[in-house]
């Protein structure tokens, strides 16, 4: 299907996790280079751009914006979809998970919606496959049940597609796991600070040093 002059069947649609992992493993340029362009849903774009507020991982949003401005990322805007089709797609979204209440507009934002909206768009716009690292698309889970015929590639598939050397793939995966662990630890410390729990200066400085070293 053609969207904004582009035949989307030529490009993969990606969710937030895959973009984050591509940046954390320094494979974002390789990803774009392999497929020329990628497709994202506007709700996914919103999730990615939130990283711009993160002092130590804002590179995730910055690299996204650089590629988008260069015309390498096609963003599907929910407002561009035909009104009747949108009603059908939003019905499909609720059938996947009835906790979603804000439709494709996603205001206010609802967590974990990006990957399901991406799958819905992948079928609707006939994108060749969905790059997703979400558990929802593992065998037997919500995404796989709702979209049994959708070809989904996960992190392992992405690394295999982009990196030919097995040792380098292992290093890229370790880089992703280490950085995600740091992100989780940063979130934990932030929440402890917000709840007025005691967090030592040593804990904070240790985390910040790790973050600066990794990115």
- pLDDT for residue 149: 83
The sheet with strand 152-153 has its strands ordered as 73-76, 38-41, 13-14, 130-131, 152-153
Q: Tell me the pLDDT tens digit for each residue of 19-64.
A: 999 999 999 999 999 999 999 999 999 999 999 988 878 999 999 9
Q: Which domains does the chain have, with CATH numbers?
A: 2-162 (3.40.50.1010), 166-214 (no CATH)
Bond before 82 cis per omega within 30 degrees: no
Alpha helices, DSSP H only, in the chain? 16-24, 28-35, 42-49, 59-69, 83-96, 114-124, 142-146, 155-162, 166-194, 201-214
Quick one: which of 160, 202, 212, 153 has its CA closest to 182?
212
> Residue 213: pLDDT above 60?
no
Residue 3 phi, psi (nearest 5):
-135, 120
Q: Tell me the pLDDT tens digit for each residue of 154-201.
A: 999 999 999 999 999 999 999 999 888 888 876 666 566 555 555 566
Higher pLDDT residue, 211 or 115? 115
> Residue 95: pLDDT above 60?
yes
Q: Is residue 29 packed enough to be buried (19+ CB in 10 Å), middle (13-18) or exposed (0-12)?
A: middle
CA distance 179 to 193: 21
Highest-confidence segment of 32-46, 108-122, 140-154: 32-46
């Amino acid at each position: 299907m053609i969207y904004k002059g582009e035949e989307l069947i030529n490009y993969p649609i990606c969710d937030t996790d895959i973009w984050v992992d591509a940046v954390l493993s320094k494979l974002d340029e390789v990803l774009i280079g392999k497929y020329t362009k990628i497709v994202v849903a506007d709700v996914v774009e919103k999730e990615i751009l939130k990283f711009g507020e993160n002092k130590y991982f804002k590179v995730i949003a910055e690299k996204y914006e650089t590629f988008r401005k260069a015309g390498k990322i096609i963003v599907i805007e929910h407002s561009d979809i035909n009104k009747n089709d949108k009603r059908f797609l939003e019905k499909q979204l609720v059938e996947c998970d009835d906790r979603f209440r804000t439709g494709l507009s996603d205001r206010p934002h609802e967590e974990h919606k990006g990957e399901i909206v991406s799958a819905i768009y992948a079928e609707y716009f006939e994108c060749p496959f969905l790059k997703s690292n979400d558990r929802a698309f593992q065998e037997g889970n919500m995404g796989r049940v709702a979209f049994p015929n959708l070809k989904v590639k996960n992190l392992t598939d992405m690394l295999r597609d982009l990196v030919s050397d097995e040792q380098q793939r292992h290093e890229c995966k370790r880089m992703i796991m280490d950085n995600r662990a740091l992100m989780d630890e940063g979130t934990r410390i932030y929440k402890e600070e917000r709840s007025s729990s005691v967090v030592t200066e040593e804990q904070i400085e240790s985390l910040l040093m790790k973050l600066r070293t990794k990115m």
